[in-house]
Copies of this chain bind each other. A is one copy, B any other.
Amino acid sequence: MSKKLKLGVFGLGSVGQGFYELLDQSKNPNLEIKKIVIKNPTKTRTIESSIFSTTPTDILDDPEIDIVVELIDDAATALEILKLSLQKRKPIVTANKKMLAENLEEIFWLQRKYDTPVLYEGAVCGSIPIIRNLEMHYAFDTLESFEGIFNGSTNYILTKMIDEKSNYEEALNKAQKLGFAESDPTLDVKGYDAKYKLAITIAHSFGCFVKPEHILNLGIDKISAHDIRYAKQQGCAIKLIAKAEKIGNKVFGIVAPTLVPVENPLASVKNEFNAINLIGASTGLQMLTGKGAGSLPTGLVVLSDVASLASGFKYSYPKITNDNPVVFETDALINVHVSFSEAGAIRLTDFEEFTGGYQGEDGHFMTGWIRIKKLAEWVDRNDLSVIVLGDTPFKVYESKKEQELSLA
């Protein structure tokens, strides 16, 4: 950083506040916020008012502003800001996971077109430097699979349900009171938030772009007292796991409540913490753990991205190559435990490979290998609960027809 860089910031919510405070504390002589564009000019703020504006062009059209920092909630507006920023050749830092996940392929090409970088470490698991680690450390290793706890709210709720025997509603209320869950918790508890992060991580891990709507996400809102007892019997924790695996040139991925054996270090990651296990061909298991959200942890990562831009760092997307392209497969077989209360709610033939079923005091249970497409049909059903059996990989799905053809 040789010259003083001027920053334009969009949004001053929780992450924006954290970013502002940390930059202020750092007394860094080379970084200065010139303008902060906000939506609501009437809110009382502690920062000197001349820095604020409600006009985006005050940042985007100011030739003095070198770097844009986008920290607003609305994904559509965030995308617009990102595009305008790149058109003006202003490098941009963002933490908007929904916007990134839904538009990552376009954003990849826009960075090339305008030769201007976008960094977004804050979008994936807050304070944990996952993307940077994939970019720099795994550029030369073949990543075989990863699995992670990508959402702090649901991990907090599950910790309360399992360790403190709260029911789902009590645990959710507690999480909301402590600010770990939104007042509308849908994006968290149904696994959408984790899925956005999964889609971004897949691009950097395996070099393929996948739209979030092509990844199945099962939430934690149907987990029953029975499921928790079953997990304990099996010596497992239940975690909302986002995972992906590369088999040949195909990539598979899912977000779902998962039985995690206690020997797996993810089982011990509690409360609002996030974590990721990476399995590399040369490095073996590597695990990163830290706070997945919060004003200061995420603000710090945004600041670190700004400093990286200043020193010329950009993502090289080392796994994205022209030869041997990798594709995301929406269907696969996955090993699950399904619980349901009414006999006949699901059938043996729903499974591709049925491994066991029984009837207990409190319901019916079936386990086996099932198509992700079948699970997708059940997403809105409230009469059953699906839990993925951890530590079993994806299996490539070949339809009966294909199997017959390959025999012919």
Enumerate chain A interface residues (CB-CB to B < 8 A): 18, 22-23, 26, 28, 127-129, 132-133, 136-137, 139-141, 265, 268-269, 273, 280, 282-291, 296-297, 299-301, 303-304, 307-308, 311-313, 316
With A and B bound together, what is the CA distance between A139 and B25 in angstroms? 12
With A and B bound together, what is the CA distance between A265 and B277 in angstroms? 14
| CB-based contact B287/A136 at 8 Å | no
If over half of A's interface residues share one DSSP class (helix, strand or loop), that class is named, otherwise mixed; here it is: mixed
- Nearest first, the 4 A-B pairs at minimum CB distance are A286-B290, A282-B296, A287-B289, A127-B283
Of B129, B269, B282, B284, the contact of A137 (CB 8 Å cutoff): B129
A79 to chain B, nearest CB (A): 27
A163 to chain B, nearest CB (A): 12
| CB-based contact A304/B265 at 8 Å | no
With A and B bound together, what is the CA distance between A140 and B380 in angstroms? 45
Residue of B nearest to A284 (CB): B291
Known: A128-B286, A140-B304, A284-B290; 19 extra A-B contacts, CB below 8 A, are A22-B282, A129-B133, A132-B132, A132-B136, A132-B137, A133-B133, A136-B304, A136-B308, A140-B307, A265-B268, A265-B269, A273-B285, A282-B299, A283-B291, A283-B297, A284-B297, A286-B290, A287-B288, A287-B289
A117 to chain B, nearest CB (A): 12
| CB-based contact B300/A291 at 8 Å | no
Of B137, B287, B304, the contact of A287 (CB 8 Å cutoff): B287
Most buried by B among A283, A286, A291, A316: A283
Q: A285-B290, A286-B289 are in contact. Are A307 and B139 (CB under 8 A)?
A: yes
| CB-based contact A311/B300 at 8 Å | no
| CB-based contact B127/A286 at 8 Å | yes
Residue of B nearest to A21 (CB): B282
Pull 14 A–B residue pairs with CB atoms less than 8 Å apart, ordered by A: A132-B132, A132-B137, A136-B313, A137-B300, A140-B303, A265-B289, A273-B285, A280-B300, A283-B291, A284-B291, A286-B289, A287-B288, A311-B316, A312-B312
